[in-house]
């Protein structure tokens, strides 16, 4: 399982001093990008090779509010990598270990022209050690 951290900025928060609900999607995207980079290269390298991975569905379960200046640990793992499907599980906790969010995102593999295509074998091979089939959401 891959982990990265993020410190909550003032710009991400509402007047109520917690992260605005839609901003969590940005944090998940950033964590997935760091996960892909840790596998061997940025997402842009796959895009340059004519592979993109648009989100086709997202499920988020909000457990506890993240607040300004919290340090969040975001866990990312693969739940499915086969055919044209690529799914990720996510879990977010704050610096006190309090569960903030559980999520799963579902992606299709397409060309830049939005035509479905099989996941590249190299990527599937890189992801296999990180596959954890069950979702927490």
- Low-confidence residues of the chain: pLDDT under 50: none
| pLDDT at 136 (0 to 100) | 59
In tens, the pLDDT along 27-42 reads 999 999 999 999 988 9
Q: Is 133 helix (H, G, I), strand (E, B) or coil?
A: coil
pLDDT at position 135 = 61
Q: What pTM does this model have?
A: 0.92
What CATH topology corresponds to 2-130?
A: Thiol Ester Dehydrase; Chain A (3.10.129)
Of all residues in the chain, the percent with pLDDT exceeding 90 is: 89
Give one DSSP letter per residue of 73-89, joined into a string: EEEEEEEEEETTEEEEE
pLDDT score at 132: 85
pLDDT of the residue at 82: 94
Per-domain boundaries in the chain: 2-130
pLDDT in tens, 71-95: 999 999 999 999 999 999 999 999 9
């Amino acid at each position: 399982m891959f982990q990265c951290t993020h410190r909550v900025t003032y710009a991400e928060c509402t007047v109520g001093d917690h992260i605005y609900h839609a901003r969590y999607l940005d944090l998940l995207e950033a964590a997935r990008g760091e996960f892909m980079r840790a596998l061997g290269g940025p997402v842009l390298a796959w895009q340059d090779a004519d592979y993109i991975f648009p989100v086709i569905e997202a499920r988020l379960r909000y457990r506890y509010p993240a607040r300004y200046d919290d340090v969040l640990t975001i866990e990312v793992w693969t739940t499915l990598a086969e055919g044209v499907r690529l799914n990720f599980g996510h879990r977010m906790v704050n610096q006190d270990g309090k569960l903030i969010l559980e999520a799963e995102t579902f992606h299709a593999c397409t060309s830049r022209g939005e035509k479905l295509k099989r996941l590249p074998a190299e990527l599937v091979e890189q992801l296999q050690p990180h596959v954890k089939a069950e979702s927490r959401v």
